[in-house]
Structure 1
Amino acid sequence: MIYQFLVSFVIGIIFEFIFSAGLAFSLLVVLVSFCIFLILFSQNDDTDIAKKILIIGLAFSLGILRMSLAQNLPDSNLYKMVGQKISFEATIIDEPDVRDTSARYTVKPTLSSKSLVLLITDRFPEYKYGDKIKVSGKLDLPKNFTSDNGTEFDYISYLSKDQIHFLIYRPEIEKLEGNNGNKIIANLYSLKNIFIEKISNVVPEPNSSLLGGLIFGAKQSLGTELLDDFRKVGLIHIVVLSGYNITIIAVGIFYLTSFLGRRKLGFVIGAVSILLFAIMVGLGATVIRACIMSLISILAVYLGRPADALRFLFIAGLLMLLWNPLLLFYDPSFQLSFMATLGLILFSPFIISYISKNKIGKYIPQKFGMREIVASTLAVQFFVLPLLIKMSGFVSLISFLVNPLVLPLVPWAMAFGALTGAIGIFSQMLSWPFGVISYFISQIMISITEFSASLPLATLQTGSISLWFIFAWYLGYGVLYWKLKNLTPTK
């Protein structure tokens, strides 16, 4: 029933998003569903069908109702000041997004009860989470933009899902006081920054930034050229904060540990790694959602029962959309993490079976869980491909080859990088051996990436693809899964 409920709930959200049906239509759906249920039930017809119709109707109407309540309008007082230079006090409520030459701060103004403001300014001087500041600058509205690949990014909606409705470029900022945020989160951010600093004291750039991206999603010093190379070969997911990234890495950790015959240990280490990641990154909403999806992924692999894992995945997706239905349309991290987990659950068993029964298995050893890692990587890459094309405007023709080469190195790079940072807190000299190992591992990853990106026809420009095309693509995946399942003998 959970599958019908979630699908009907999502359809209700989409219906309200397109048609703005509202509360009255939602109540009408409930009334019609209840009447059909009573008629079928009273006539002693198939009561299961009656119950399904009622549940589907209730879920559909709940989706309409929840989406209608998710009106995300900007603060009217601030909206009147758009285009004017204003001055206000605010508190930095999220970790600063630091780039090579700039920084972005999400602040909550004291004069607004519902809207947040994004400040885009120079990298220095630096400010921290929890700082109370005085801001002066011209208040603007976000604008959508078109990327170099011809795809339009809905920047307005992407920000508004997190209540960010305004931005200020190059504001004047004066720090008034610090430590106004949550003490626990502030300490976690500080600990993360200390880790990154200790790693960079031992490991040179860009390797230290790559390690920071792998462990914490911090990629500010990788440089534009190297980041473009990671995108070209389909590896950008390992250095950005997303459930797609965490899912692949967590499953890799599980298999690398469980090849010793200790599946429980593999599950525990994978789960603990995810929890440590969430804590170190700061327990933000995006992080928590991504980690929940990743935990479900390794639970699916550990249980070996796709049906149970699917149930957990759909329940998690339902709860997240109940909390914020706008995630369905405007949050790439949610979309990728959900679809990556779904692809892993549905298709990795078939790929493992194919590798084991065919000649290709000779070239992919069973040691270190390599077959499972390759199968999981291919399943995830294969299933999220339509979304990646939609978001990036191109398809990496070599990602299916590069990912199985690089991803087995990621858990080792993360482990030795984390040890470098942790031991470096107490002694930089003792952290050197671990730093040297993490440097060489990360250098292999960078070298593979740069070489692969330099190959001709590494990427194919596709431009933007329509949502209808993506829908048809996933419908094809559904047909493929149905055929593969019917071809697979039941135990």
Structure 2
Amino acid sequence: MGSDKRIGIGVVMILVLLARIWWWQKSEVKLEDGQGVKITARIKQIPVDYYGKQRINVSEISIDVPEDIKVDYGDKVSVVGTIKERATTNGTKYLSLTDQEFRKIENGTEWGRYLVNIRQKTFYNLRRWLGGDEGELAAGIVVGGSGEMSREGRDNFRRTGVSHIVAASGYNVSVVGGVILVMAVGLIGRRWGMWFVIFGVFMYMFLAGMSAAVVRAGVMGILAMIGLMAGRKGDGYWLLVVSSWGMIMINPAYIEDIGFQLSVAATAGVLYSTPQATNPNSQIPKILNSLLQNFKTTMAAILMTMPLILHHFGNLSVAAPMVNLLVVPVVPMIMGIVGVASLVGFLVPVGGMFISWLAWPILKYMTIIVNWFGSQSWSSFEVGTISWAWVAGYYLVLVICIKYWHWRR
């Protein structure tokens, strides 16, 4: 497709998107602190185990399920309560319900219960086999969540900029998928490496519970990889734009979703840093070349997401580049070992336990690195949030620098 044609299509897409967002904002029902609501809906995400309770997200509201009621993916529920605005430890605001009356109206499908059972069994086995923060980290990497990790551990992961590893977030899909890609490209070639990543992303989406953030990032990542398989980065960028545009058209609320914004930015960074092909005449050993490409991928994702993190959280992690470089490369290895251990554990629990122990030294290495950097006073600074104008200015300067760098080469 010619550049002029793409520009024309791009202008039309922007105009249509602006019209869709305008209509959505005009018709959107605003939820406010103290407002009474009644919600009847199906659960579209796997319930999260949070300190012994189930926590679900319905209509963008976080709801704690009463202890005497058990819900699964796909169940239909009715909730009456009062909106309460809360904030996480890093300052992210979210809506919850107080004084609620909770009823389960209808059971979901067998598929939903099967998915939940796999996830819960995986959590239970890994926590029992590995224990401590290492067990929580293993479960978080494979299926997402760090609800029972120690408070110190959670704070250190946040301060060092690697919370995405245990969040089963879209950012995690993008960064970890990118690291797997550059390592696979260096070791088995670009085309086979792409297929390997696509398969890995599908498996991760399934194990992580098919949450909206993970599915969005998975779809964007897979389409971008297909573009790269066509042989041109431009195709990957174009498919990323089209998939993002389509998702916002379907649900305009995504444009305000922090996870969606980070997923798009991180995926763009991964695309930029991914090598088009390996050089057969290169004098650099394949393993060293993969490590260098991993550093490039990690830095690209950090640079692309940094202004969004500053805008939403106002937190600048000085340690993030070094910690990501040290811990992200071993994540695919942990995913592989723990994934195999979990599968074997369903059939032969003792066999799964022994296999999981192979991952413990790597998990311990990760927690040591994160806890040491996180305990340093200089690892993270609260610099205050920045406006969207500064975010736009940052990306404009970044694009100019990238263009200039190519011109210099």
Show the counterpart of 2:55. Answer: 104
Show the counterpart of 1:69. Answer: 23
CA contact (8 A) 1:397 1:458 kept: yes
SS in 1 for 2:252: coil
Distance 1:246 1:197, change over 3 A: same
SS in 2 for 1:69: helix
Q: CA RMSD in A?
A: 3.5
For 1:91 and 1:261, locate their aligned partners in 2 and report how far apart those are by CA, in whole Å.
Answer: 43
Deviation of 1:287 (Å): 2.2
- Is 1:280 the counterpart of 2:207? The answer is yes
SS in 1 for 2:46: coil
Show the counterpart of 1:451. Answer: 372
Alignment of structure 1 residues 397-436 onto 2, 5 Å = 397-436=318-357
Deviation of 1:83 (Å): 4.8
TM-score between both structures, scaled by the size of structure 2: 0.85
- Is 1:200 the counterpart of 2:154? The answer is no
For 1:99 and 1:6, locate their aligned partners in 2 and report how far apart those are by CA, in whole Å.
Answer: 47
Distance 1:206 1:314, change over 3 A: same
CA contact (8 A) 1:6 1:318 kept: no
Distance 1:332 1:5, change over 3 A: farther
Tell me the number of residue pairs that the alignment of Structure 1 and Structure 2 aligns: 404
Distance 1:125 1:440, change over 3 A: farther
SS in 2 for 1:321: helix
Show the counterpart of 1:346. Answer: 272
Cα deviations by residue, 1:58-102 (Å, 9 ceiling, x for unpaired): 445422321233245449xx99x9459x8x987645322332365
Distance 1:407 1:174, change over 3 A: same
- Structure of higher CA gyration radius: 1
- Is 1:391 the counterpart of 2:312? The answer is yes
5+ residue gaps in structure 1? 8-51, 108-114, 157-166
Deviation of 1:266 (Å): 2.2
Cα deviations by residue, 1:204-224 (Å, 9 ceiling, x for unpaired): 122121111111112221132
5+ residue gaps in structure 2? none
Show the counterpart of 1:168. Answer: 97
For 1:148 and 1:284, locate their aligned partners in 2 and report how far apart those are by CA, in whole Å.
Answer: 22
- Is 1:380 the counterpart of 2:301? The answer is yes
Distance 1:311 1:125, change over 3 A: same
Alignment of structure 1 residues 47-446 onto 2, 5 Å = 52=8, 58-71=12-25, 73-74=28-29, 82-83=35-36, 92-100=43-51, 102-106=53-57, 118-120=62-64, 126-131=70-75, 139-143=81-85, 153=92, 155=94, 167-169=96-98, 171=100, 173=102, 180-299=107-226, 305-328=232-255, 330-347=256-273, 366-367=287-288, 369-446=290-367
Cα deviations by residue, 1:256-297 (Å, 9 ceiling, x for unpaired): 334334433322221111011122333343222110222245
CA contact (8 A) 1:185 1:283 kept: no
CA contact (8 A) 1:2 1:315 kept: no
- Is 1:469 the counterpart of 2:390? The answer is yes
For 2:232 and 2:12, locate their aligned partners in 1 and report how far apart those are by CA, in whole Å.
Answer: 29
CA contact (8 A) 1:244 1:336 kept: yes
TM-score between both structures, scaled by the size of structure 1: 0.72
Distance 1:275 1:89, change over 3 A: closer
Distance 1:58 1:455, change over 3 A: closer
SS in 2 for 1:169: strand
For 1:216 and 1:223, locate their aligned partners in 2 and report how far apart those are by CA, in whole Å.
Answer: 18
CA contact (8 A) 1:106 1:117 kept: yes
Distance 1:123 1:478, change over 3 A: farther
SS in 1 for 2:63: strand
SS in 2 for 1:168: strand
